[in-house]
């Protein structure tokens, strides 16, 4: 990337390096990190599922494990998919670098900077919020257990409990703090994986929106009346307008290419994660509805934050998908509303092709079935609530 672009992607680079997904890392170092992260993510799922080996099976046990296990399963699957697509991630980053080099004017540079700055803001806010929540959970768990250990009488026994059901096949009470520390390590690893991949996707979405906006800007600049009037001859006028429209078409094509590469990199991962997210949200809604009436506030708080996290995540991903749809469609509206009729006939034919292509909105279709958009967010939440009602009415 250019030095200007690097400043907007620095946090994304640090996060990706932490989980071994930065394609420009040393290959041996990256493989070592990927192996460690994979082991931690897999162990986070396995240790929860092994509870079925020692505990008596019940529907309540199944739902409780699913509530905590499903998000980790989605992290694991998505990480493995993206780690196998390192080359495609490199292609995306090279495309970003090339897009910055294609900018011709300071106005275009300011446009891409504005969208990149918003992508950076998303990354900073999401990263700060997630790690602050993790810190609060760690401090709360450690301080609560230390306080209870200190206040419990020497002749009394106290059963310590982990924040999630796990089975390590060792004495949980004897090795409570080492196991708890390992759980925190798994949590940090899983959340870092989620933050690194999701903020990168959100930043790339902003970049695509910036490319569409630059294409709009080039069309408007090419069709300005002042340009038409100040040109000495009709041939010069046609040449200036033609070059401007060609530049807009090229930028529009680059935006579409960027979205297509993003699809190839992220679509399969989201295809696996989407049903798990709906399942996890439904189960946590059910647990929240069951825990509040019986005043199990500690577990209810966990379910509440999981529900809030799911809804926030679904909304933001779909909101950014809606922005891509809107920006790709704006080219048609701005071209139609511009003074295209004063352009030469040859240019009008080219504009007609641009308008025809922009009628088909660019979307990040997941698995050929789901389109991230505000309507998609409504569909996801509606499906989750429907499944929650089914579980609640049956059980």
- For residue range 215-273, list pLDDT tens digits in order: 988 888 887 754 555 555 667 777 777 788 888 889 988 999 999 888 888 888 888 88
pLDDT of residue 367: 62
> Which comes out higher in pLDDT, residue 4 or 253?
253
Of 389, 232, 381, which is closest to residue 310 (Cα–Cα)?
381
Of 21, 124, 125, 121, which is closest to residue 78 (Cα–Cα)?
21
pLDDT of residue 226: 44
Section 169-191 average pLDDT: 90
> Which comes out higher in pLDDT, residue 351 or 253?
253
Q: Tell me how many domains the chain contains.
A: 1
* Per-residue pLDDT at 4 exceeds 80: no
Binned at pLDDT 50, 70 and 90, residue 3 comes out as: low
pLDDT of residue 229: 56
CB 112 within 8 A of CB 119: no
- Is residue 230 exposed (0-12), middle (13-18) or buried (19+ Cβ within 10 Å)? exposed
* Per-residue pLDDT at 69 exceeds 50: yes
In which domain, by residue range, is 253 found? 3-394
pTM (2 d.p.): 0.88
């Amino acid at each position: 990337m250019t030095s200007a672009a690097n400043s907007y992607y620095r946090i994304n680079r640090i996060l990706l390096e932490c989980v071994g997904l930065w394609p420009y890392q040393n290959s041996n170092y990256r493989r070592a990190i990927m192996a460690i992260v994979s082991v931690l993510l897999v162990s986070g799922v396995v240790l929860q599922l092994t509870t079925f080996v020692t505990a008596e099976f019940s529907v309540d046990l199944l739902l409780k494990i699913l509530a905590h296990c499903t998000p980790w399963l989605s992290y694991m699957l998505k990480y493995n998919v993206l780690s196998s697509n390192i080359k495609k991630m490199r292609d995306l980053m090279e495309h970003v670098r090339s897009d910055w080099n294609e900018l011709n004017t300071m106005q275009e540079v300011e446009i891409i900077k504005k969208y990149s700055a918003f992508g950076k803001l998303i990354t900073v806010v999401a990263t700060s919020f997630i790690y602050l929540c993790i810190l609060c959970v760690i401090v709360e768990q450690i301080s609560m257990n230390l306080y209870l250990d200190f206040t419990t009488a020497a002749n009394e026994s106290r059963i310590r409990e982990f924040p999630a059901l796990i089975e390590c096949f060792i004495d949980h009470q004897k090795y409570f703090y080492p196991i708890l520390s390992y759980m925190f390590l798994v949590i940090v690893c899983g959340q870092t994986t989620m933050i690194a991949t999701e903020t990168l996707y959100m930043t790339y979405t902003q970049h695509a929106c910036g490319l569409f906006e630059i294409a709009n800007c080039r069309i408007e600049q090419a069709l300005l009346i002042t340009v038409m009037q100040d040109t000495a001859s009709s041939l010069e006028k046609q040449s200036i307008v033609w070059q401007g429209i060609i530049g807009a078409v090229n930028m529009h094509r680059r935006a579409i290419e960027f979205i297509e590469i993003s699809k190839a990199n992220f679509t399969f991962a989201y295809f696996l994660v989407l049903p798990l997210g709906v399942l996890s949200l439904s189960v946590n809604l059910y647990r929240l509805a069951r825990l509040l009436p019986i005043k199990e506030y500690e577990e209810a708080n966990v379910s509440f934050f999981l529900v809030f996290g799911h809804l926030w995540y679904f909304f933001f991903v779909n909101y950014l998908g809606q922005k891509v749809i809107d920006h790709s469609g704006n080219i048609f509206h701005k071209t139609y509303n511009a003074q295209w009729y004063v352009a030469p006939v040859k240019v009008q034919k080219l504009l007609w092709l641009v308008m025809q292509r922009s009628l088909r909105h660019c979307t990040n279709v997941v698995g050929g079935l789901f389109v991230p958009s505000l309507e998609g967010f409504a569909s996801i939440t509606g499906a989750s609530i429907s499944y929650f009602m089914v579980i609640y009415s049956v059980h």
